[in-house]
Amino acid sequence: MNERPPALEMRGITKRFPGVLANDDITFDVRAGEIHALLGENGAGKTTLMNILYGLVSPDTGEVLVDGTPVTIRDPSNAIAQGIGMVHQHFMLVPVLTVAENVILGQELLRGPFLDLPQAARRIRELATQLGFDVDPDVRIEQLPVGQQQRVEILKAIYRGARILVLDEPTAVLTPQETVEVFTVLRRLQADGAAIVFISHKLEEVLAIADRITVIRRGKVVGTRRPSETSDVDLAVMMVGREVLLRVDRGKSHPGDVVLKTEGLRVKDDRGHEAVRGVDLEVRAGEILGIAGVAGNGQDELVDALVGLRRPAGGKVLLGGAEITGAPTRRIRDLGVAHVPGDRQRFGLVLPYPVEDNLVLTSFDEPPFATGPLNLLRNDAAIDEWSERLIKEFDIRTPSRDVRAATLSGGNQQKIIVAREFRGANRLVILDQPTRGLDVGSIEFIHRRAIEKRDAGTAILLTSADLDEVLELSDRIAVMFRGHIVAIFDAAVAERDRIGLLMAKGGAAAA
Amino acid sequence: MIVVDFVVYLFTVLPDLLPIILGLATPLALGALCGVINERAGVVNIGIEGIMLWSAFNGYLAGFALHDTIGAGPSLALGIATAVLTGAVLGLLHAWLTVTVRADQIIAGTMMNIAAFGITGYLNRLIITPSGRGGAGVLGVLHLPPEVIGLPAVGPIIRMFFEQGPIAMSVVFFVIAIQLLLFRSRWGLRTRAVGEHPKAADTLGIDVFKQRYLNVVLGCAFAGLAGAYLTLESTGSFQNGMTGGRGFIALAAMIFGRWTPVGAFLGALMFGTATALGVVVNIRVPEGDLGQILKSIPTFWYAALPYLVTIVILAGVVGRSIPPAADGVPYEKEGRA
């Protein structure tokens, strides 16, 4: 039937890194006018495969064919020359440069010795119109919302004449509306005959957009399915290799007294702009309050102020009725506040320290971990025993308790933090982006733990850029937009679309 | 009252000071250009001081050695070429250390400073001092006709930029050229991309290593020219450690100018002004109370003025400056994704 060879074919790709077989004899193809999804957990080898395609990593064996002809791709410029474009998971945009400068970088339009920015701007406007969106070529990237940044990434690839477009986890940072918009752009590209590889670990999205879905587990292709002949449960089993609860059963909450209360809280960001502008919140014992919002709408500053990392510019923070506004972090912790920070590698862990030290990071100076006069000595026996127990209890997959935290996978790093913060009698746990970038297995684990914690009577404040996570876990949902809480919903009556709209446009548009 | 007197005094001495200020600012501005070109591409270079000193020495040595054989003019030209080449070669060393070997950039720069100080001092004693001969001569200053100098208002400005030797006169040209190139050319766009987000540049097929090598070598050639100015245009002799911290003040000027050539040049002029004022208050003492006050301040405070200004600037009085995001961070292609 199909006379024409696939636009792209990868045959028998194998790549071994020290200690890991990242890609094991992977064969994969995508045709012109097709969207082919690559589904797999973190560390399954999807990104490695695409980095091989883009010339960022060289394979041990295997070959790449474009339009049926074998090609050698040694670096990204070879890939670009073959018509391969890539939208990376972490955007490859230079924040301080303009849209036009970012798009033409590497293939500059010149007039004499200088850049021809007006002509570049015209080309960019043309291309954007063709793809069905609008972009100002002269604005700096850092001034654009992430959704638009991503479209600039797509534009960059198309500007270079890409016919084969790879998108690595393109929706990870988008609101539901932005996701819909990206899908529209992708469908238009597909109609124009582009071959699209869509990498994701989100099941619904893959089912919604792809023509074919190939599942990868531990570097191997598990199978290829068409959306019509599979289901999310089916795909999850292929992906993880066992049954997974896609939605942790939240059960009913039994809210008690108010534990955390903020009154007119105002917080400034690093540049001195007010990022939190008068927030009133209440979190009760035994409930999870989720804050939904696009990243950068003041959530980080709010959390910082609550845990004492940033001094509020105004308003009050009350814990169990006692004021803790601007109190030192240590005192806030001693009052029973635990914190799972959003940036786990920078704030949650000391990466070069062993796992066991990271597990006592908040309690190393107290008995039983400290001993002797003035608690000046380290009690190795107690620390060993404690860490062995937590490693078992929280299923932290590590060769031993004394390897450096840096060597573990993201999911296991996060489990170290969760183990440390959840152990002990807390009144309030602040979960900041607790599962960002983790795979379904780890997400399930952390969600289960959070609900257990709630049922034990702890108040939980959750922030997440992933609306699904907020919807799944929260008993009440607050929507944060430009430093304001624009709405609070009971989870039972919360509508996904309405929240998505509030996240994107605030109160005015949704009213 | 005193403040008014001081401002009046400033305006009376400034016209005569302008050419001196540009002269004092020249090595600083060229050094700062080196800093801008390096750091915009993501390489910190605190070895500018050492590169300047070494180039000053080599340039002087070339001019001095050939002075009698080929005459003053050609030997000076050769001296400048030698100094610029020395800067470029030392830049190549710095690039190799920081880009290829990924050594600590501060330590690489410090090594450069210490090595330059020691080696030039040693060679100075070994070659130049025992010869007992005179200098290599000095690059001439353009003398303007009195009618031009006498022009009201613009006369002093024209003097400032044109009553100069060739190197000082070229500074304004270089500053404007690099400013334009940095923000309007392909080289500039790639430089800024590599200094802000090298990985993004890499994924677009730009060779980050090549770009950084190019910028470090080019920048250091300017530091070499700064060295040539010191020995061949300003003093006509070489003294041990004669850079006297100018390489570091150049970095302060770069920060003051927020990593832009024009801004850095203004910073250099400011330091030049501070230095010139420190000298002139002791020579042309103002009348009245102001003179009494200025005279009562010990002279070493005036000598220290540019350094004090440096400290104030680096302490952030001019507002926090944000360096390029990947400044000082070696780029490493990742083996595993």
Interchain pair B192, A94: CB under 8 A: yes
Which H, E and C letters describe A358-392, residue by residue?
A: HHCCCCCCCCCCEECHHHCEECHHHHHHHHHHHHH
pLDDT tens by residue, B139-158: 888 888 888 888 877 888 88
Q: Which candidate from A57, A75, A76 shows the least CB-CB separation from B337?
A: A57
Whole-angstrom distance, CA of residue A85 vs CA of residue A100: 17
Query: Is B247 within a domain?
Result: yes
pLDDT at A508: 58
pLDDT at A463: 94
Interchain pair A97, B192: CB under 8 A: yes
pLDDT at B306: 82
- Residues on B contacting A at a C-beta cutoff of 8 Å: 180-181, 184-186, 189-190, 192-193, 196-197, 199-206, 325, 333-337
Query: Is B294 within a domain?
Result: yes
Interchain pair B205, A110: CB under 8 A: no
Task: Compute the nearest-CA separation of B210 from chain A (Å).
Answer: 13
pLDDT at A208: 92
Task: Compute the nearest-CA separation of A88 from chain B (Å).
Answer: 9
Q: Which residues of A touch B259 (CB under 8 A)?
A: none
Interchain pair A106, B200: CB under 8 A: no
Closest Cα to residue B337, out of A86, A94, A182? A86
Whole-angstrom distance, CA of residue A8 vs CA of residue A194: 11
pLDDT at A1: 46
Interchain pair A97, B199: CB under 8 A: no
Positive/negative CA dihedral, B287, B288, B292, B294 = negative
Task: Compute the nearest-CA separation of A137 from chain B (Å).
Answer: 15
Whole-angstrom distance, CA of residue A443 vs CA of residue B165: 70
Nearest CA in chain B to A271: B320
Q: Residues B290, B2: contact at Cβ < 8 Å?
A: yes
* Bridge partner residues of A262 (DSSP): A281, A317
pLDDT at A179: 87
First to last CA, chain B: 68
Interchain pair A94, B200: CB under 8 A: yes
The DSSP symbol for A480 reads E
First to last CA, chain A: 53
pLDDT of residue A29 exceeding 90: yes
State the residue range of the domain holding B269. Answer: 2-141+152-316
- The residue-averaged pLDDT of A115-130 equals 93
Higher pLDDT, B27 or A4: B27
Q: Which candidate from B193, B325, B337 shows the least CB-CB separation from A56?
A: B337
Interchain pair B189, A101: CB under 8 A: yes
Interchain pair A56, B204: CB under 8 A: no
Task: Compute the nearest-CA separation of B105 from chain A (Å).
Answer: 22
Which H, E and C letters describe A186-215, residue by residue?
A: HHHHHHCCCEEEEEECCHHHHHHHCCEEEE
pLDDT at B57: 96
* Bridge partner residues of A258 (DSSP): A284
Interchain pair A114, B202: CB under 8 A: no
Whole-angstrom distance, CA of residue A419 vs CA of residue A429: 12
Interchain pair B203, A86: CB under 8 A: yes
Q: Which candidate from A57, A88, A105 shows the least CB-CB separation from B189?
A: A105
Question: What is the average pLDDT score of chain B?
Answer: 89
ipTM higher than the 0.90 cut:
no
- The residue-averaged pLDDT of B205-209 equals 93
pLDDT of residue B244 exceeding 70: yes
Q: Residues B48, B55: contact at Cβ < 8 Å?
A: no
The DSSP symbol for A341 reads -
pLDDT at B335: 46
Other Cβ atoms less than 10 A from the Cβ of A330: the count is 10
CA B217 to chain CA centroid, nearest Å: 15
Interface residue of A105, A152, A165 to substitute, partner B, most B CBs within 10 Å: A105
Q: What is the tally of structural domains in chain B?
A: 1
Question: What is the average pLDDT score of chain A?
Answer: 89
Q: Which residues of B touch A57 (CB under 8 A)?
A: 334-337
Q: Which candidate from B180, B197, B204 shows the least CB-CB separation from A106?
A: B204
Interface residue of B179, B181, B189 to substitute, partner A, most A CBs within 10 Å: B189
The top-scoring range by mean pLDDT among B66-80, B125-139, B286-300 is B66-80
Query: Is B330 within a domain?
Result: no
Full strand arrangement of the beta sheet holding A314-319 = A274-284, A258-268, A314-319, A322-323
Interchain pair B203, A110: CB under 8 A: no
At B337, the pLDDT band (50, 70, 90 cuts) reads: very low
pLDDT of residue A475 exceeding 90: yes
pLDDT of residue A248 exceeding 80: no
Q: Which candidate from B193, B205, B335 shows the least CB-CB separation from A94?
A: B193
Q: Please state whether the predicted TM-score (pTM) of the whole model is above 0.95.
A: no
Query: Is B62 within a domain?
Result: yes
CATH classification at residue B273: 1.10.3470
Closest Cα to residue A342, out of A482, A464, A169, A176? A464
- Proportion of chain B above pLDDT 70, given as a percent: 96
Interchain pair A17, B200: CB under 8 A: no
Query: Is B234 within a domain?
Result: yes
Q: Which residues of A touch B204 (CB under 8 A)?
A: 76, 80, 92, 105-107, 156
pLDDT at B336: 37
Interface residue of B190, B203, B206, B211 to substitute, partner A, most A CBs within 10 Å: B203
In one-letter notation, the amino acid at residue B86 is T
Closest Cα to residue A504, out of A303, A304, A296? A296
Interchain pair B203, A22: CB under 8 A: no
In one-letter notation, the amino acid at residue A414 is Q
pLDDT at B320: 64
pLDDT at B191: 97
Query: Is B147 within a domain?
Result: no
Residue A290, phi then psi, degrees to nearest 5? -100, 135
Query: Is B219 within a domain?
Result: yes
pLDDT of residue B116 exceeding 50: yes
- The residue-averaged pLDDT of A161-177 equals 86
Following DSSP, what letter does each residue of A35-100 receive, concatenated? EEEEE--TTSSHHHHHHHHTTSS--SEEEEEETTEEE---SHHHHHHTTEEEE-SS----TTSBHH
The top-scoring range by mean pLDDT among A87-91, A342-346, B266-270, B300-304 is B266-270
Query: Is B328 within a domain?
Result: no
pLDDT tens by residue, A359-389: 999 888 888 899 988 889 999 999 999 999 9
Segment among A67-81, A235-249, A402-416 with least mean pLDDT: A235-249
pLDDT at A344: 84
Higher pLDDT, B323 or A303: A303
Interface residue of A16, A84, A94 to substitute, partner B, most B CBs within 10 Å: A94
